Amino acid sequence: MTFHVLISDPLSEEGLKPLQEAENIEVVINPGWNEQELSDQIDSFDAILVRSQTQVTRALIEKASNLKIIGRAGVGVDNIDLEAATENGVIVVNAPNGNTNSAAEHTMAMIMALSRNIPQAYHALKQKQWDRKRFVGVELKQKTLGIVGLGRIGAEVAARAKGQRMNVIAYDPFFTEEKAEQMGVQYGTLEDVLRAGDFITVHTPLLKETKHLINKDAFDLMKDGVQIVNCARGGIIDEDALYDAIQSGKVAGAALDVFEQEPFTEHKLLTLPEVVATPHLGASTVEAQEVVAIDVSHDVLRFSQGEAVRNPVNMPSVPSEIMYKIEPYFHLAEKLGTFITDLTKEVVSEVKITYAGDLADIEIAPLTRNAVKGLLKRYLGSRINDVNALFLADRKGIEVSESKTSSKKGFTNLITIEVSGKFGTRKVAGTLLNGLGPRLVRVDEYRVDITPEGHMVVIQHRDQPGVIGRMGSTIAKHDINIATMQVDRSDIGGDAIMILTIDRHLADEALNEIESLDEIKSVTAIDL
Ligand SMILES: NC(=O)c1ccc[n+]([C@@H]2O[C@H](COP(=O)([O-])OP(=O)(O)OC[C@H]3O[C@@H](n4cnc5c(N)ncnc54)[C@H](O)[C@@H]3O)[C@@H](O)[C@H]2O)c1
Ligand SMILES: O=C(O)CC[C@@H](O)C(=O)O
C-alpha cells in the first residue's frame, strides 16, 4: 500500500531524499495550498511534514482521517495541537538535534549585534550617516550572560559565551547544580539569573509555565541597561512589558528572532531603535535545514515501515537497544488486552498489569500501552493505537496501573492483566515461549495453554460427564471445525472452563444454542 506524505512547508530537498527514494511512498512537495485547500486535501495523506509555518490545528487533525504521523523539521512543536494529535492517535515526531548549533550561533550573533550596535550602525551608514559616537558598544568579556533554559541550545550558548570570556549564570528547573558546574556555569534561581545578567537570553520551550516568564516583574528585577535576547519562542517574553521596559530605559536593547504572532509586517517593537530583529532565522542555515529534514524524513520512513520512531514527541521515546528486547512482547500484551475485553464483554473501570520474571528487568511502559490498546480497541475501533491508548483510557475513566515482580511463577516471563468493573474481577495471563511465540496460560484461576490467535470460544461450565461431547456435536452441527481444545476445572464436579480454537467465527445462533445447555454458565466467542 502506498504511504502518502505531504510536505507543506519548504524543507531541504536533500533532506527529503530518504522519503523520495523509498518504495511505496508518494511525496507531494509544497503544493502551496492555503488553509482551506490544505483542509480539503489533508484526508488523503498518511503523513504531513512541517516547519513552523503550517498550523496543524485540532480542526485539521480531525479532518485528517488517514493521518498517522506529523513530522516537525525542527524542535518547537507549538504550531501543532499535540493534544488533538494524541487524542486522535497521530504520532508527532520532531528533529530535536539538527538545528541546535545554528540556533546557538544565531543567539551569539544577536548578542554581538546588540553589544556593538551592528544593525543600527549599518542602517545609519546605508542612510549616508558616518556616526561613530552614537554607536559605542560594550565588550562581552567579563560581562555576565544569564541563561534561562539550559537545554540543548542553552548549553551550546553557554559554551560559546565562555569562549567570549563571559561569566555565565543559568536557571533551569530540570538541571542540577552539579551538571551546571561541570559545564563551568554558575547555577542560580530565576531571580538570581535575572538580577545578575548584563545580557539575558531565554532558551525554554513555550509552555503554559513559560508563557510571559519574562514579564514586568522580571524586568523590574534586572540590572538597569540590561540587554535581552529571544531566539527561542515568541511569548516567553511579554512583548508589551518589553516595550515599556525599553521605553523607560530599564532595558538598553533587545534582540528578537521570534515573536508572539508570526509572520507579521508591522510590529510596535520594531519601531524602537534599541530593537534588533530577524524573522525567525535561528534554524535557517543550509546545514541545519538539511539535517532536520533528513532526521524527520527517516522517522517518517521508519514509521511507514512499521519500525519504532526515534524522536516521538507525544509518547515516550524508547532507545533501540531496549526496544529490541521488548518488541517480541508487544503482540502478546495486545492480544491479552483484547482477550480479556471480549471475555468480560463489559466496560472496565480498572486495569492492573503485572510483569513477572525476565520482564521485571526491562522497560514495560510500551507493553502497557499495547495491552491497553488491545483492551480498548473493541470500544474505540481502529483509531486507537499506542499513541493515544493511555490518554483515551484516562479520558474514559479507566484507571491503569502496572507493576513488576521478579517472581517467575513457573514461567520465565509472564504478563498478567486483571480487570475490574461492575462484573467483578477477571484475569488473564500470557507468556512468550522461547521459539514458540505467545501463549495464553491462565484465564482467571484456570491453567490453559493456547496460542492467542484467531477464533475462539470460552465456555464456563460445570464439570460433568458428557459436556464436552455435547459441546462438540453442537459446534459440529454448525459446520465449524474445532482445531484445539483446553479444559481445566477448579475441582471434580465443580466449576470448569473449556477453551476451543475453531476455524471460523462462532455465530450468535450457535452461541445461544450452547448457552441453553444445562451445564453451561457462560459462553463467549472471541476473535483475536
Ligand atoms: N529561533 C529558532 O529558529 C529556533 C531554532 C531551534 C529551537 N528553537 C527554540 O529554542 C528553544 C530551546 O530549544 P532546545 O532544543 O534547546 O530545547 P531543549 O528541550 O533541549 O531545552 C529546553 C530547556 O528549557 C528548560 N525549561 C523548561 N521549562 C523551563 C522553565 N520554566 N524555566 C527554565 N527552563 C525551563 C528545560 O528543562 C530544557 O532544559 C525551544 O523553544 C525551541 O523551539 C528556536
Ligand atoms: O522551521 C524553522 O525554521 C524554525 C525552527 C525552530 O523554531 C525550531 O523550533 O526548531
Residue 511 has a pLDDT of 87
The angle at the Cα of 195, spanning 245 to 177, to the nearest 5 degrees, equals: 135
Mutate to test the pocket of ligand 2, among 75, 256, 286 (most ligand atoms within 8 A of CB): 75
Q: Give the fold, CATH level 3, of 3-96+287-304.
A: Rossmann fold (3.40.50)
Helices assigned H by DSSP within 164-285: 177-182, 190-196, 216-221, 239-247
Chosen CATH of 320-527 out of 3.30.830.10, 3.30.1330.90, 3.40.50.720, 3.30.499.10: 3.30.1330.90
Q: Distance between CA atoms of 262 and 280, rounded to whole angstroms?
A: 9
Domain segments of the chain as ranges: 3-96+287-304, 100-277, 320-527
Residue identified by cell 559545564 is 183
The pLDDT value given to residue 508: 87
Tell me the pairing of strands 251-256 and 186-187: unpaired
Report the C-alpha gap between 280 and 493 in whole angstroms: 77
Q: Which residues have C-beta atoms less than 6 Å from ligand 1?
A: 74-76, 96, 99-100, 103, 148-154, 171-174, 203-206, 209-210, 231-233, 257-258, 280, 282-283
Strands 520-527 and 455-462: antiparallel
Which residues of the chain are under the pLDDT cut of 50?
none
CA distances from 413 to 299, 333, 373, 438, 462 (A): 31, 12, 21, 11, 31
Cβ neighbour number for residue 176 with a 10 Å cutoff: 10
Contact 474, 520 (CB under 8 A): no
Position in ligand 1 atom list of the atom nearest CA 210: 31
Q: What is the pLDDT of residue 22?
A: 96
Q: Which of 46, 104, 116, 47 is nearest to 75 (CA)?
A: 104
C-alpha cell at 316: 515516550
Could you tell which of 147, 203, 206 is best to mutate to test the pocket of ligand 1, judged by most ligand atoms within 8 Å of the CB?
203
- Is residue 233 annotated as part of the catalytic site, yes or no? yes
The owner of cell 464456563 is: 460
Query: Which residue ranges have their beta carbon within 6 Å of ligand 2?
Result: 51-52, 74-76, 99, 280, 282-284
Q: How far apart are CA 467 and CA 474, in angstroms?
A: 11
Distances from the Cα of 528 to the Cα of 326, 328, 475, angstroms: 21, 17, 19
Q: Are 406 and 355 in contact (CB under 8 A)?
A: no
Q: Which pLDDT value is given to residue 382?
A: 64
Q: How would CATH label the architecture of 100-277? A: 3-Layer(aba) Sandwich (3.40)
Atom number in ligand 2 closest to CA 283: 3
Which atom from ligand 2 is nearest to the alpha carbon of 289?
A: 3
Domain 3-96+287-304 and domain 100-277, same fold? Reply is yes
* Pairing of β 520-527 and β 350-357: unpaired
From start to end of 434-478, where are the E strands?
437-443, 446-450, 455-462
